[in-house]
Structure formats: C-alpha cells, structure tokens
Amino acid sequence: MVAPRSMVVKRALILLTIVAAGCQPGLISPSPRPSPTPTALRACPAGASAPAGPQALLSNLPAPDDLAFDNDGRLLFGDIKAGTVSALGIDGSVQRIADGLRVPEGIVVLANGEILVAEQARNRIVAIDPASRAVRQWRALANRTGQEGIDGIGPELLSIAAAPGGVIIPDSPNGVVWRVSIDGKTATQIGSGMTRPVGSAVDQNGRIFVADEGGSVWTLDPARRRFATLPTPDDVVVGRAGDIFVNTLGDNAIHEFDAQGHQVSMMSGINQPQGIALDGADNLYYTETGNGQIGRVVRTFILDPPKVTGTSRGTFVICPTIHRAAGFSKPLKLLAPNAPAATLQLVQPGTDSSGALEVQTAEHSVTINVGDGGLLNLSQVVTLP
C-alpha cells in the first residue's frame, strides 16, 4: 500500500515532467500565425489635367536639335553645339549617352536598341551601344558638293512590303535618298531629284515621306510625288492615327496634315524647331534650337512617376499617375507586368482615377503599360523600393 502523501508527490513529478517536455523545442509545434489578409485594392486618384498648349521640359541647353524615343521610353536629344546625345527620363532627369560628336543631327533607334546618329560635320552615321555607350562608325557618305553634310536620318523600316527592311537615309548634300541595310553595308537608292532632303518618315501603308529644305515634302510610293509645299521643312513624323507632322524653319512652325495632305493645324512662334518627335500616345515633342529648349504638347495623356509602397505581405502597390489632355476622355486600360512579376490585384483606371495594381516579385523594377486598347500606348519602368 502506498501512502497518500507519496501518491501526491508522484503525481506532481509526472505533471512536472510533462510540462518540461512540452517546453522542449520541436516536441510540440507552435500554432501558425495567420497570414495577413489583403485589403481590397482601390483605384488611385487621377493626376491633374495635363497642361494645355506648349510646355517647356528642358531649358538652357546649348543647341538641342533632333529627337527620338528609345526602347525604354526615354526622349533622346542631340545637341549640335555640345556634341552630345542625351536621354530625358520620365522623372525629368537627364543622362549623357555619348559625347565628342561633331554636329550630331538625325537620331534613330533600331529595334535592337542600338542608336544611330548622323554626324553632319563628318558626313557619316555612327552607332551607339545603349549598354556600353561605345561609338562606332556605321556608314560613311561621300560629299563633294561643298555643302553641309548629312542632316536627318531614319526611320527603320520593319516588315513593310513597299520597302522591306533597312533604314531610310536622306543624303542631304547630294539630293538623294537611300535605303541602307541594318548593318550599314548595303545601300539602295530609292529617291532623287531633291534640293536637300533632311528628314523622313513612313506610314502604315509603306509611303515614305521626305522633308526637303528646298520647300517640299515628298512621298515615295515608290514614285516621287509632292505631298505639301512649305517654307524650309526640316523633319517629318507620322502619328499613330496617320496624321503627318512637319516642322518648318522658314516660318518657325509645326504643321499637321491628314493622310490626304489637308492641313489640320499649325503651331507657330517656335524659335527654330529643328527637331520633332511623337511618343506612343501621339504627344508632340519639339526642340527650339534658337533658345535652347525642348517643349511638349500633350494631345492625349501622359504618365508621371508613380507612387510605390510596400505591404506587410512583401508585395508592392503601384499607383500610376495619369494626366489627361483637356477633352481626352477615351477609356484607358492598365496592363500588368510580365513574368517574373505576379499581379495579385489590379484596378483599371477611369476618367477620374489612375487605377492601381499589387505585384509580387523579387525583381528591382517592373514595366507597366497604359493604353486605349488600340493605337495609343505608353510603357513605364517602375522602380521598386
């Protein structure tokens, strides 16, 4: 028979052993913590309306000239006095791409990202590697006329039946136009009989437009025909909707035409508009070489740097900033980034909002796109904190 007191002591020792065993790591698993529940994502407020009319983006430049957009959406600009090519980012920062160039004029960006620049003083075209920024000669041209060398170049022709492949090169001093292979080695003459061809563009139907400082804009389809008569055209670009824009030095203006050659609008009072470009949403960018400025006219919508915040789940919420031009009310769609980013939530923008998205990724940046589902589209590289 066991004494009652001994029984109590044994029971106490057993309980103590059980409690001590439960405190040893690994014997009893702790209760899992509940994962944070994501709150429903709300659309971010719309940005203020875009400024109406011309807007100065950069000032106090020596002599900005031609313009082009690179494959990251940055605005490239050459400066004929400084001998440089630089890039203007969406955040307003300026990055030097190349220097030591002699009168850099035309700029065209190839599909592979390489940047071609016409050096007027050397009458040649150089290629700039966007990563290493190394400069090499792409093609040299002959000039025995005693006139200034090559002026504008481009664009690259991509899968256009009328002129497959290559880059359009207006040979300014010699009054002819070439189609040059992407490697710069082979040239085919596609136009002649011009005074001084200085800029070119192509529409979706394969018509090639050439700005001729002699006072004409020509089309090559393939025969040469006069499209418009203007005072000293300097460059030409074609919009997504098919309208043609020409900057003219004789009247310090930018003229807009429809596809049939009827003038739609004219912006005057520009101090020597040597360069002109359109972004993916058909907003107009131009240089004023005479007063060292780069300007813009917002015709549809633009994107400002977004607001990015981290969450307790290790994800990122991106708030785009969309500014619409007055009168532009078309629905816009926000496209999620491609893999390896995973989009957890997405809210589409409205006429009074900029949309929002939540992403999960190990990358340091993602690319978003905003467009109308048709012709207009702007992409934006978003840096993650």
**Amino acid making up residue 269:** G
Could you give the CA distance from residue 273 to residue 234 in angstroms, rounded to a whole number? 8
Tell the residue number behind the tokens 């310090």, with chain if given.
252
The predicted structure's pLDDT at residue 165: 81
d(CA 209, CA 244): 9
How many helices (H) does the chain have, and how many strands (E)?
1, 31
| pLDDT for res 340 | 93
From first to last of its 385 residues, the chain has per-residue pLDDT tens of: 444 444 444 444 444 343 344 444 444 445 555 555 567 999 999 999 999 999 999 999 999 999 999 998 999 999 999 999 999 998 899 999 999 999 999 999 999 999 999 999 999 999 999 999 999 999 999 999 999 999 999 999 874 444 468 999 999 999 999 999 999 999 999 999 999 999 999 998 889 999 999 999 999 988 999 999 999 999 999 999 999 999 999 999 999 999 999 999 999 999 999 999 999 999 999 999 999 999 999 999 999 999 999 999 999 999 999 999 999 999 999 999 988 999 999 999 999 999 999 999 999 999 999 999 999 999 999 999 9
The sign one gets for the Cα dihedral 351, 328, 295, 237 is: positive
- How far is it, in rounded angstroms, from Cα 190 to Cα 162? 11
CA 59 to chain centre: 20
Residues 6 or more apart whose Cβ sits within 8 Å of residue 266: 253, 254, 255, 256
Strand partners, 336: none
Q: What is the reported pLDDT for 91?
A: 86
With CA atoms as reference, report the closest residue to 28 among 39, 36, 20, 40. 20
The single-letter DSSP state of residue 227 is E
Predicted pLDDT at 13? 42
CA distance 102 to 91: 29
Amino acid found at 2: V
C-alpha R_g of the chain? 30
Distance CA(346)–CA(18), nearest Å, equals 51
pTM for the complete prediction?
Answer: 0.87
Residues near 312 by beta carbon (within 8 Å), at least 6 away in sequence? 36
Q: What token pair was written down for 273?
A: 């508009």
Smallest CA-to-CA distance from 61 within 102, 96, 90, 101 is with: 96
Inter-residue contact 245 to 236 (CB < 8 Å): yes
**Omega of the bond prior to 231 within 30 degrees of 0, cis?**
no
pLDDT of residue 222: 86
